Structure 1
Amino acid sequence: MKILVPIDGSETSLRAVHYIAKAFPRAETEVHLINVQAPLPSAVSDFVGVAERSAYHQEEGERSLADARRTLKEAGIAHHAHLVVGGVAETIVDHAASLGCDQIVIGSRGLSPLPNLLLGSTTTRVLHLAEVPVTVVK
């Protein structure tokens, strides 16, 4: 089973990783962690070069993925990490499709400052766009 897990560095995204470590058989599970960095606003990117933007996104992505990677490694679960820049929900769903994932496991809320009544806005959007089952971890 291939599972895509969006990781933004939030506590709920890490809980999704802990859920996978407990609920799925190690030998039969391949996890793809994805950290999607939103593009920098044009007011910033107009003054910062491509190399600097790339380094920034790489550093932020690696920092967000570190705990999740460590958790899966300790659990003995095969995993791959992907760092992508783009629209968050759309990129998550597109990546799940391109990797042939069977499922998306996502935290209920992330780091976004925009509140939603029950679920985070990214989680809600992924639920609407995904063509594979989505498990939301609270």
Structure 2
Amino acid sequence: MYDRILVPTDGSPSIATVADHARELSDVHGAELHALYVVDTGSFATLPVETTWEGVSGLMREEGEQAVDEFTEMVSDAPVETAIREGNPSREIVDYADEHDCDAIAMGTHGRGGIDRLLLGSVAERVIRTAPMPVVTVPVSEPEGQRAES
């Protein structure tokens, strides 16, 4: 049923829960996993003018390399394609899945509702609304005292 499963990662510790779930799906279906890190270029709009895009982009790409490498280690010997993209996270996730004929997307969600979701937005929700393939959301928890967008 699934030949390719996309797993977007932000490098946070909560990705371990998603990695476990994606690995199980991969094992059951004999699917190849794709790990994707998206450098959110929209988040740099508020940086001071003297900040160079190349410097920030380079740092974010390094963070992305580390995130996809950690995901690859978490799923041990499962086949994994990795990629890093720049842009709007939800759009890049859906575009990547479509371009690589992924049969499903497995991603974490913090399960926020109400005012938190309105104020913070939800990458998972936007992916669910726009992806032409199934999106498996895996509930994840945040370390105490941390809040990050899902």
Q: Which runs of 5+ in 1 are unaligned?
A: none
Comparing 85-94 with 47-56, which one deviates more in the overlay? Answer: 47-56
TM-score with structure 2 length normalisation? 0.75
In the superposition, the TM-score normalised over structure 1's length comes to 0.81
1:122, CA displacement in angstroms?
A: 0.7
Amino acid in the other structure paired with 2:135: V
RMSD of Structure 2 on Structure 1 (CA): 2.5
What displacement does 1:43 show? Answer: 4.6
**Which protein has greater RCO, CA pairs closer than 8 Å, 6+ apart?**
1
The one-character-per-residue Cα deviations of 1:43-78 (angstroms, maximum 9, x if unpaired) are 537423343233112112123333211112x2x210
Q: Does the CA-based 8 Å contact 2:5-2:26 persist in structure 1? A: no
In 1, the alpha carbon distance for the partners of 2:62 and 2:88 equals 18
The residue number in structure 2 matching 1:56 is 59
Does structure 2 retain, via aligned residues, the 8 Å contact 1:16–1:106? yes
Please list every run of at least 4 consecutive aligned residues from structure 1 whose deviation after the TM superposition is greater than 4 angstroms.
none
Write the distance in 1 (CA, Å) between the matches of 2:48 and 2:30: 42
Give unmatched runs, 5+ long, in structure 2. 140-150
How many residues are treated as equivalent by the alignment? 131
Of 13, 28, 35, the residue aligned with 2:30 is 28
Residue 66 of structure 1 corresponds to: 69
Q: Aligned partners of 2:70 and 2:56: how far apart in 1?
A: 23
